[in-house]
Chains A and B, each alone.
Chain A
Amino acid sequence: MAYTFSFPEEVLEHVFSFIESEKDRNAISLVCKSWYEIERWCRRRVFVGNCYAVSPMMVIKRFPEVRSIALKGKPHFADFNLVPEGWGGYVCPWIAAMACAFPWLEEIRLKRMVITDESLELIAKSFKNFKVLVLTSCEGFTTDGLAAIAANCRFASFIFLISQVLNLLDFNFVFELVLNKGHKFESKLCLCLVNLRELDLQESEVEDLSGHWLSHFPDSYTSLVSLNISCLGNEVSLSSLERLLGRCPNLQTLRLNRAVPLDRLPNLLRRCPQLVELGTGVYSTEMRPEVFSNLEAAFSGCKQLKSLSGFWDVLPSYLPAVYPICSRLTSLNLSYAIVQSSDLIKLISQCPSLLRLWVLDYIEDAGLYALAASCKDLRELRVFPSDPFGLEPNVALTEQGLVSVSEGCPKLQSVLYFCRQMSNAALNTIARNRPNLTRFRLCIIEPRTPDYITLEPLDSGFGAIVEHCKDLQRLSLSGLLTDRVFEYIGTYGKKLEMLSVAFAGDSDLGLHHVLSGCDNLRKLEIRDCPFGDKALLANAAKLETMRSLWMSSCSVSYGACKLLGQKMPRLNVEVIDERGPPDSRPESCPVEKLYIYRTIAGPRLDMPGFVWTMEDDSSLGLE
């Protein structure tokens, strides 16, 4: 007879309280029924990777004491305009349900979702302890909603990450409300504005209004922790900003916008020498020695500074001003900096502690070689294209740069690399050099580019990557690829969780390899590949073990979608087709876009006219 002993619930609950990660908590809940019960009552943070995978009521029923929720909506390819407007991702039903069920909710984090003013108003009214609102790449709201939040919430921390249509006039309005309505910011305020669109006001009004909002922070307000206005188009009042910075001793992050002139930067820096993260404004001005030395001295005064970004319109002569702090820098974002390789080399050579570098391909192979020589602790490298739509290479950046970094940086884990040529040999070398890679995203700009030396497909190169990098979690493919690369991926990519494929493969075999071989696959996104019905149908059960599958411009027929939807009640098979109803075309006709995701909530009810969810057997016969 099995010997069982159990702790009292309180003890277990106390133990569980130290477990933060969702994955661990999910594992705990599977141990036995009583652990499931105990765990669900004490879970405080919930992460829903796909807002349509589960209904709000289900979450509420299972986890009655949630304090923090994170939701994701649209598929990743929405970032590249592949998901038509109006597809979905509405947070409204969630807010409505949680308003009743979670009165003590403190945090809401949304990514790629649509949030309306009504929802924002509801948040403001319903959650008395609300502290954190993070909106990343969201849309759908206006001034009114933000004003409601501003007017009604007492925040401990307040984070705004807005990546949409919030123009300056609206923003001014919000801030007037926030700051003039007499409520208090209790302790910290984190304010982060990303990707604001601009408002073009006529001349005199620009001067008045653009900096207006900053002056509305009351003199008594000293709690600013983070201010990120890097994407604000218009100028802000620098004197107001200086005063604000001067009285906020807790300020750690300051990311300025392009409009802040370089010669004013020293004054700003002097008022917040405790800064940890700085984003400069425009990084050029008339070359004057006193401006330079002023800047250099100001930088030297920032002893805690670890992260730099900004650097628009760089005048290279001013780069040495940051040299005093380079040795402490762990993160450098130069992805807007149009700077020649030689100047980049001089800068990077001074940063031995660098962990993360984002840079444009102006760095070229020579610069990456220098990076490899100087930055032995580097974990993450992203090289963005300066001229993504040009036909000819405009910089001397090739596969060699990446090879150098893979050789010289033993801790390199994460790579995003845009280039124009690649070879199997290079990929092979990179794979053997860096078996500790966990994220490898390579974008050879021209689709279907083969190995430039042998003219072969790049199958064996990527094969080497998956074979040697046994902990690879994320992979993006590009270049000329046949089904063989997918066989490699299916064979070796055992830890792979996310795979992005474009313009690759020859037949269903390719897709079949991936679906049948990658045990840990969660997200698969495919565009413009000749994958059709067979692999999908043959691996339908696999789809239930994944979060989602996106396929656009492939060869999956409407008939196959219907079949899949019929046979798999726990999948939502969404056909997205802007040409009109799929049954107005033959069943063998391929659908434009297909988004399949597992769900226990059944088909969603908020689809626009160009999305059809394939019905399962149980729902046929209704109506």
Chain B
Amino acid sequence: MMDERSRSEASPQLLDLMNRSEGKCSEERKLELRLGPPGGEEWSHSGKMKKSNTEREESLLSLGCFSHAILNGFQSKDTTPPWPSYHNKASSFLQFPSTPPVMGKEALASQACCPKVVELQNNDTKVFSPSSANTAVSQPNTSQKRTAPAPVVGWPPIRSFRKNLASSSNSKPPPESSQHNEVAGKKPVDNYGKGLFVKINMDGVPIGRKVDLNAYDSYENLSSAVDELFRGLLAAQRDSSAGGAHNKVEEEKAITGLLDGKGEYTLVYEDNEGDRMLVGDVPWHMFVSTVKRLRVLKSSELSAFTLGSKQEKIALDSAMK
């Protein structure tokens, strides 16, 4: 039941495409969609040709989608067939500065059946020169300057504890083994290569915490994480100072308004130049790359600490330590 694959079930009316011939062999197997040029045979290095399956084609067509034009679209024998790109599609796609400029005709190809696609595909001349297009994409050392693309969520697909390995210890491997190597760090370093941990302290709470900034991708997430981290501790502090019994349910209240100045507390950070800044002013990835420490201050105390001032920095440094 849990992982059964009961393929013998009848398919619902709408979707009869699950009928497949059993015992097919690749040579005779018919694909419903033909990916060769009209009349062309060879398209794969293994030399097997897949022919259309009219039955399937029809059912697909019944949904009003694929036209023959698209099916016969690709010019396989060219070394670099033109292919449509979809970069001007919905904003959710990756903004990639080094990709080739989008050709208007191609943009339509990704979804709709479109006569313009036919026109494109049947055109012998290449729509855009692949080499110029691909140069930009593939080679990091072209003359075309590459700016850092906006960080893509979840890419490359590695877990957060692997993300900061290079920056957390050394960025380069130590020199080749020799007898007289320098003393390696004796004290455990702050970042254990499992994430981007920064210390965070809160006014009124003697226990500091650490947050892994790699686990968040926005200020909102960070703000809720800070609330979670300190809510209990803050309540505990209040309780112990009030001398009352710890009553979790009633006394804990959410720490809100950390980013907009409206809450009782405000989130600030110290950057790599030692300046104290309000959290939220710069783009997230910029914040992550420059933040060294976080602090949750009482909003009423904010004016006492001049943000970004060097003079205060000395006072702040001692206060934060």
Contacts and interface: CB of A to CB of B under 8 A. Distances in A.
A131 interface: no
Contact of A340 (B12, B17, B63, B173): B173
Interface in B43-88: 43-46, 48, 50, 56, 59-60, 63, 65-66, 70-71, 74, 76, 79-81, 83-86
Interface string B104-137: 0000011100000000000000000011001101
Contact of B138 (A336, A452, A537): A452
B2 A46 contact: yes
B115 to A, nearest CB: 15
B103 interface: no
A203 to B, nearest CB: 10
B134 A450 contact: yes
Given A460-B45, A537-B63, A54 B1 contact: yes
A507 B110 contact: yes
Contacts of B90: 555, 589-590
A195 B194 contact: yes
Q: How large is the interface on B (under 10, 10 to 19, 20 to 34, 35 or more residues)?
A: 35 or more
Given A389-B151, A540-B14, A482 B83 contact: yes
Contacts of A537: 14-15, 63
A202 B163 contact: no
Contact of B44 (A62, A286, A488): A488
Nearest to B133: A455
Interface residues of A, number: 132
B197 interface: yes
A457 to B, nearest CB: 7
B35 A484 contact: yes
B131 to A, nearest CB: 6
Contacts of B305: none
B209 A540 contact: no
A202 B155 contact: no
A49 B3 contact: yes
Given A26-B1, A47-B2, A202-B206, A592 B15 contact: no
Given A23-B3, A340-B176, A335 B162 contact: yes
Contact of A491 (B31, B32, B175, B217): B31
A274 interface: no
A198 B130 contact: no
Given A201-B207, A507-B84, A538-B60, A487 B50 contact: yes
B218 to A, nearest CB: 10
A74 interface: no
Contact of B66 (A335, A385, A482, A534): A534
A464 B138 contact: no
Nearest to A389: B151
Interface in B169-193: 169-181, 183-186, 188-189, 192-193
A47 B1 CA distance: 10
Interface stretch (B92-100, B250-258, B259-267, B272-280): B92-100
A385 B158 contact: yes
A488 B43 CA distance: 11
A336 B165 contact: yes
Q: Per DSSP, are chain B's interface residues mostly helix, strand or loop, or mixed? A: loop
Contacts of A77: 154
A288 B188 CA distance: 20
A79 to B, nearest CB: 6
Contacts of A315: 174, 177, 181, 184
A520 interface: yes
A463 B33 CA distance: 17
A258 interface: yes
Given A22-B2, A80-B155, A567-B12, A513 B33 contact: yes
B281 interface: no
- The 10 A-B pairs at the shortest CB distance, nearest first, are namely A284-B184, A80-B154, A316-B177, A200-B208, A541-B11, A534-B65, A455-B134, A541-B15, A530-B110, A530-B86
Interface of A: 22-23, 26, 30, 46-49, 53-54, 58, 62, 77, 79-82, 85, 165, 167, 169, 195, 197-202, 231, 233, 235, 258-259, 261, 282, 284-287, 312-317, 319, 335-336, 338-340, 342-343, 360, 362, 384-394, 418, 420-421, 428, 443, 445-450, 452, 454-457, 460, 463-464, 467, 476, 480, 482-484, 487-488, 490-491, 500, 502-503, 506-509, 512-513, 516-517, 519-520, 522, 527-528, 530, 532-534, 537-542, 544-545, 547, 553, 555, 567-568, 589-590, 592, 600
